[in-house]
């Protein structure tokens, strides 16, 4: 069931968006390859959520076109589960196209095993911890016929250690169920540890100011040299790195976006 | 620890009630208020016994419960769907909110002349008055609840292909169910309060009628005994409705 997931395709063609007079995204173009994990990082308020809303089809861009193939599902920061449904009923939402009861039950069991939450089938979301809830959300999004996962800061409501654990968890789940992932985060560490490619967005109106490719194999340790190198590069791109010989410092808040996205490669 | 708390949960209100009865008793015992203005707890108790033995009380309770239930079911049956619909249609909501609020602020007492004129005597005018009192707050609170459902639920619903009727029954309705139950409790409270006024017109029985009848016969002891019964029944019904909040798929609305 993993192979057919790789037909998915997601491309932004010259997309711009503004809210009234306020331009948020400016001429964004990029393609996400099938099975690829792309992270979008950028300063807060730069339009990351707008970008995801366009990707999910929730928002129509002011100009430009979105090309996509495959079923897209979003994993939210928190509260994306329906609180009136049990864990099992929530995950079953993802299995709605599976009408055969036996097959449905089988896939549901597999998903519970996958997220190690056997025994919590009949619990309600408010009875679970934050980390468990996010695991359920991911299972729901992975269920059935989904191809592309959009993740909107899925771990940012969790405490630091749970967040670290959830990264391992996500890598493990994706190794078993390959998906194309677009992951929006403000957490540079998270992007460096998880992504195949990182797009750094500029301040509003957002353009892609830099693109980094991280080739190191996953799962990656936080202390993996490739992760550290990527973090350094992203931090300095965001102007948050004071000691890398770059003239920009953490006090310099005024970085002009490079209109020509550069490309850095680390391995 | 938990047991201790549940014990004091029960004990404290009981102490307050006994204290209240004691104050009432003492006020009457020392004749701080003349007996014809305030009957004593003993007088009220004797009167209750009298009404029970005469069979009037049971009859009045059934009559009142019947009217309130019909009025309440009508206002919930029409108010809940109407509120759900309004909550989803911003334009209609905008158009209708002022007039709904206008009627909400009209005391049911104001409708009494029309109730008699339109529905003559019997149960109907009383049911009409109860309906007029309970319907508007019900519609408004459900409408507001629907309009403030977090948009994230609809985004998720979109991802998983919930559309049309399914969206209404599987997303919108369960999302506001806790508020619907709260609205029902509030409306039921209003309906029950209105019963005294509603039974002033065209009724020959019922708890509210009992109070008016007692007043006309200068039997304040009977009036008080009916008041006690009205209060206790209201409390009991609310406890019954509040049991709904313990349902597992509704509990989330109260535990968060």
Task: Give the residue among A199, A152, A188 at the shortest CA–CA distance from A53.
Answer: A152
pLDDT at residue B185, as a whole number: 92
ipTM of the complex: 0.80
| pLDDT tens-digit series, residues A38-67 | 999 887 777 888 888 888 888 888 888 888
List chain A domain ranges. 3-79+150-266
Q: Is the pLDDT of residue B13 over 60?
A: yes
> What is the model's pLDDT at position B4?
56
Average pLDDT over residues A81-101: 90
Question: Pick from B152, B153, B252: which is nearest to A126 by CB?
Answer: B252
Kindly report the nearest CA distance between residue A182 and chain B, in angstroms.
Answer: 15
Q: What is the mean pLDDT of chain A?
A: 82
Contacts of B253 in chain A (CB under 8 A): 83
CB under 8 Å to A175, separation ≥6 — which residues?
A218
Per-residue pLDDT at A219: 86
Contact status of B152 with chain A (Cβ, < 8 Å): yes
**pLDDT reported for residue A247:** 46
d(CA B70, CA B17): 32
Give the pLDDT of residue B31: 87
Q: Which residue has the tokens 């008016």?
A: B212
- Give pLDDT, residue B120: 86
Q: Answer yes or no: do A126 and B255 touch at CB < 8 A.
A: yes
Q: Would you place residue B137 in the very low, low, confident or very high pLDDT band (cuts 50, 70, 90)? A: very high
What tokens were used for A163? 């967040």
For residues A94 and A73, is the Cβ–Cβ distance under 8 A?
A: yes
Which tens digits make up the pLDDT trace of A156-184? Answer: 888 888 888 888 888 988 888 888 999 99
Domain A3-79+150-266: assigned CATH number: 3.40.50.300
> What's the whole-number average pLDDT of chain B?
89
CA–CA min distance B155, chain A (Å): 7
Answer yes or no: are the C-beta atoms of B165 and B108 closer than 8 Å: no
Cross-sheet strand order for the sheet of A146-152: A71-75, A146-152, A180-185, A37-41, A197-201, A208-214, A262-266
Q: What is the pLDDT of residue A267?
A: 44
Judge whether residue B108 has pLDDT over 70: yes
What was the pLDDT predicted at B25? 92
Contact A91, A139 (CB under 8 A): yes
CA distance B249 to B256: 13
- Would the pLDDT of A231 be above 50? yes
For residue A243, the model assigns a pLDDT of 62
Contact by Cβ (8 Å): A138, A75: yes
Facing residues of A72 across strands? A148
What is the token pair recorded at A231?
């973090």
Q: Is the pLDDT of residue A135 over 70?
A: yes
Q: What is the mean pLDDT of residues B32-43?
A: 88
**Tell me, what's the pLDDT at B7?**
65
Nearest by CB to residue A96, choosing from B160, B174, B253, is: B160
């Amino acid at each position: 069931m993993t192979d057919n997931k790789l037909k998915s395709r997601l491309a932004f063609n010259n997309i711009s968006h503004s809210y009234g007079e306020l331009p948020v995204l400016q001429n964004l173009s990029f393609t996400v390859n099938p099975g690829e994990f792309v992270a979008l990082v950028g300063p807060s308020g730069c339009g990351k959520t707008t970008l995801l809303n366009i990707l999910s089809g929730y928002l129509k861009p002011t100009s430009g076109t979105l090309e996509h193939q495959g079923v897209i599902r979003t994993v939210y920061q928190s509260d994306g589960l329906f609180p009136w449904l049990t864990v099992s009923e929530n995950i079953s939402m993802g299995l709605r196209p599976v009408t055969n009861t036996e097959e449905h039950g089988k896939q549901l069991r597999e998903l519970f095993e996958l997220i190690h939450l056997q025994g919590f089938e009949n619990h309600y979301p408010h009875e679970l911890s934050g980390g468990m809830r996010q695991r359920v959300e991911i299972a729901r999004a992975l269920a059935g016929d989904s191809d592309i996962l959009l993740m909107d800061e899925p771990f940012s409501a969790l405490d630091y250690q749970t967040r670290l654990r959830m990264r391992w968890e996500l890598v493990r789940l994706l190794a078993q169920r390959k998906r194309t992932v677009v992951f929006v985060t403000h957490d540079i560490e998270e992007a460096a540890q998880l992504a195949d490619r990182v797009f750094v967005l500029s301040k509003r109106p957002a353009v892609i100011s830099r693109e980094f490719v991280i080739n190191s194999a996953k799962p990656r340790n936080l202390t993996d040299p490739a992760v550290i190198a990527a973090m350094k590069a992203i931090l300095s791109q965001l102007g948050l790195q004071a000691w890398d010989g770059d003239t920009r410092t953490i006090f310099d808040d005024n970085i002009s976006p490079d209109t020509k996205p550069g490309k850095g490669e680390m391995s | 620890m938990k047991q201790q708390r549940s014990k004091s949960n029960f004990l404290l209100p009981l102490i307050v009630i006994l204290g209240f009865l004691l104050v009432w008793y003492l006020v009457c015992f020392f004749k701080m208020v003349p007996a014809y203005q305030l009957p004593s707890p003993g007088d009220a108790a004797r009167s209750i016994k009298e009404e029970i033995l005469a069979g009037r009380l049971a009859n009045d309770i059934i009559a009142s419960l019947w009217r309130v239930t019909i009025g309440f079911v009508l206002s919930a049956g029409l108010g809940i769907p109407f509120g759900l619909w309004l909550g989803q249609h911003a334009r209609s909501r905008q158009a209708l909110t002022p007039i709904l609020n206008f009627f909400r602020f009209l005391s049911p007492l104001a409708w009494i002349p029309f109730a008699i004129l339109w529905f003559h005597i019997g149960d109907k005018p009383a049911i009409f008055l109860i309906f007029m009192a309970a319907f508007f707050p019900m519609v408004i609170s459900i409408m507001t609840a629907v309009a403030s459902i977090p948009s994230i639920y609809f985004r998720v619903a979109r991802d998983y292909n919930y559309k049309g009727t399914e969206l209404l029954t599987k997303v919108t309705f369960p999302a506001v169910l806790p508020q619907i139950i709260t609205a029902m409790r509030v409306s039921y409270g209003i309906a029950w309060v209105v019963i005294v006024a509603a039974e002033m017109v065209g009724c020959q029985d019922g708890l509210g009628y009992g109070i008016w009848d007692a007043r006309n016969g200068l039997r304040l002891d009977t009036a008080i005994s009916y008041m006690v019964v009205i209060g206790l029944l209201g409390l009991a019904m609310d406890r019954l409705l509040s049991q709904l909040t313990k349902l597992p798929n509704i509990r989330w609305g109260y535990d968060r």
